């Protein structure tokens, strides 16, 4: 079965390609490498001992997509391609609306044209905005607080309208919580450009000596230790959730939260990382980061019930595997 993976060279995409190959799928990737390196796919091929067909192209390029759908018997699409940095989206909203919305629009048009109507879409817990209650269920109200989140929300709405207009579509909206970790080999992992915005790559770069100390954004939240709580999920568990969504047989559109259901504070993550890796993470408390919420964690019981999926790896595993990747590749893929 041939699967098209958009953005397959990226962090979550590369881990998903590996799981797909291991499960016997044929994988075709389209990626413009705007935030990734081809070497990630070379390493996936090496780990799986199988090959990937790679197209270096932009998903906004309709002719490139038509060429792929003409040359391959694509049966389903997993759509990861997109820009994902919240802060950058506030500074460059037009780039985010253009890249994320136009690429999705062109992709869905071409899928319709070639009657390929099974889609797994990378959405995000960001569509819940500032959650009223935790754990968050899929029925929680949707709202956005930044242009990146707005693109996810608009694409979800676009897909709901497509499914309403044509009942032969099968669409999963996977709302990820906080993906961290790496394949246990340490050969593929997250390789952010510049200084990381997210907690785990920041911690690993402090551990590697690239950054001096972690700034803990606020210790005055209403949480057990005052620092912000998130639902960290191992990227390999997340990747496996995509395979479950591909195998799920239904018509229409369904949203699924992919998280562990366990909330961990910033200080919990730092202390677990220290235990898992034997390193010391220098850190200091600073002011809250604007826009952050106190608590965000998932109720993932719908994914368990309908997809038969649950996250298996612990925060300890996530920290250990993140560090394995960072320590084996101190400067990321290319440097």
Q: Is residue 234 near ligand NAD by the rule CB under 6 A?
A: no
Q: Is residue 266 near ligand UFG by the rule CB under 6 A?
A: yes
C-alpha to C-alpha distance for 176 and 162, rounded to whole angstroms: 22
With vertex at residue 273, the alpha carbon angle to CA 317 and CA 197, rounded to the nearest 5 degrees, is 100
Which residues, at least 6 apart from 245, have a Cβ–Cβ distance to it below 8 Å?
120, 172, 174, 256, 307
**Which residues are paired to 91 by β-bridges?**
none
C-alpha to C-alpha distance for 55 and 314, rounded to whole angstroms: 35
Contact pattern from residue 225 through residue 244 relative to ligand UFG, giving x for each residue in contact according to CB under 6 A and a dash for the rest: ---x-x--------------
Nearest to 316 by CA among 266, 260, 276: 276
Residue nearest to ligand UFG (CB): 228
Of the ranges 75-83, 254-262, 291-299, 322-330, which one interacts with ligand NAD (CB under 6 A)? 75-83
228 binds, options ligand NAD, ligand UFG, none, Cβ within 5 to 8 A by partner type: ligand UFG
Q: Is residue 126 near ligand UFG by the rule CB under 6 A?
A: yes
Q: Is residue 121 near ligand UFG by the rule CB under 6 A?
A: no
Q: Give the other-Cβ count within 10 Å of 217's Cβ.
A: 17
Return the beta strands (E) in the chain as ranges.
Answer: 2-6, 26-31, 53-56, 74-79, 118-124, 170-176, 178-180, 214-217, 229-230, 232-234, 252-258, 264-265, 283-286, 295-296
C-alpha to C-alpha distance for 198 and 34, rounded to whole angstroms: 19
Q: Is residue 134 near ligand NAD by the rule CB under 6 A?
A: no
Catalytic residue of the set 148, 176, 232, 248: 148
323 binds, options ligand UFG, ligand NAD, none, Cβ within 5 to 8 A by partner type: none
Among 135, 147, 149, 179, binds ligand NAD (CB under 6 A): 179
Active site residue 25: no
Of the ranges 53-61, 183-191, 192-200, 235-243, which one interacts with ligand UFG (CB under 6 A)? 192-200
- Report residue 100 as tokens: 């994320």
**Which residues in the 39-58 window bind ligand NAD by CB under 6 A?**
58
| Cβ(123)–Cβ(173) below 8 Å | yes
> Smallest distance, Å, CB 294 to ligand UFG?
8
Q: Is residue 202 near ligand UFG by the rule CB under 6 A?
A: yes
Of the ranges 25-33, 202-210, 249-257, 322-330, which one interacts with ligand NAD (CB under 6 A)? 25-33
Tracing tokens 């999926």 back to the chain, one arrives at 309
Residues in contact with ligand NAD by the rule CB under 6 A: 7, 9-13, 30-36, 58-60, 80-84, 99, 103, 122, 124, 176, 179
> By the criterion CB under 6 A, which residues form the site for ligand UFG?
84, 86, 124-126, 176-178, 197-199, 202, 214-217, 228, 230, 266, 289, 292
Enzyme catalytic residues: 148
């Amino acid at each position: 079965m041939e699967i098209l993976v958009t953005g397959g060279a990226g962090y979550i995409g590369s881990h998903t390609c590996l799981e797909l190959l291991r499960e016997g799928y044929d994988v075709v990737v389209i990626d413009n490498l705007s935030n990734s390196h081809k070497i990630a796919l070379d390493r996936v091929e090496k780990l799986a001992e199988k090959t990937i067909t790679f197209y270096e192209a932009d998903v906004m390029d309709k002719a490139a997509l038509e060429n792929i759908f003409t040359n391959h018997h694509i049966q389903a699409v997993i759509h990861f391609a997109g820009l994902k940095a919240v802060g950058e989206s506030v500074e460059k909203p037009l780039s985010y609306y253009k890249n994320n919305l136009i690429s999705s629009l062109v992709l869905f048009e071409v899928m319709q044209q070639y009657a390929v109507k099974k889609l797994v879409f990378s959405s995000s817990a960001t569509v819940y905005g500032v959650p009223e209650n935790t754990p968050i269920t899929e029925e929680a109200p949707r709202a956005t607080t930044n242009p990146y989140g707005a693109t996810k929300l608009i694409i979800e709405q676009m897909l709901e309208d497509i499914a309403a207009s044509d009942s032969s579509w099968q669409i999963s909206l996977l709302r990820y919580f906080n993906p961290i970790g790496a394949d246990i080999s340490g050969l593929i992992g997250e390789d952010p450009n510049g200084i990381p915005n997210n907690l785990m790559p920041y911690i690993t770069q402090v551990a590697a000596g690239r950054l001096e100390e972690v700034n803990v954004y606020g210790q005055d939240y209403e949480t057990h230790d005052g620092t912000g709580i998130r639902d960290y999920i191992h990227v390999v568990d997340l990747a496996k959730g995509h395979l479950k969504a591909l195998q799920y047989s239904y018509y229409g559109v369904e949203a699924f939260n992919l998280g562990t259901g366990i909330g961990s504070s910033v200080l919990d993550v730092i202390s677990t990382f220290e235990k898992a890796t034997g390193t010391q993470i220098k850190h200091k408390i600073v002011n809250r980061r604007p826009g952050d919420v106190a608590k965000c964690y998932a109720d993932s019981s719908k994914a368990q019930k309908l997809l038969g999926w649950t996250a298996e790896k612990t925060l300890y595993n996530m920290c250990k595997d993140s560090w394995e990747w960072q320590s084996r590749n101190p400067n990321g893929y290319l440097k």
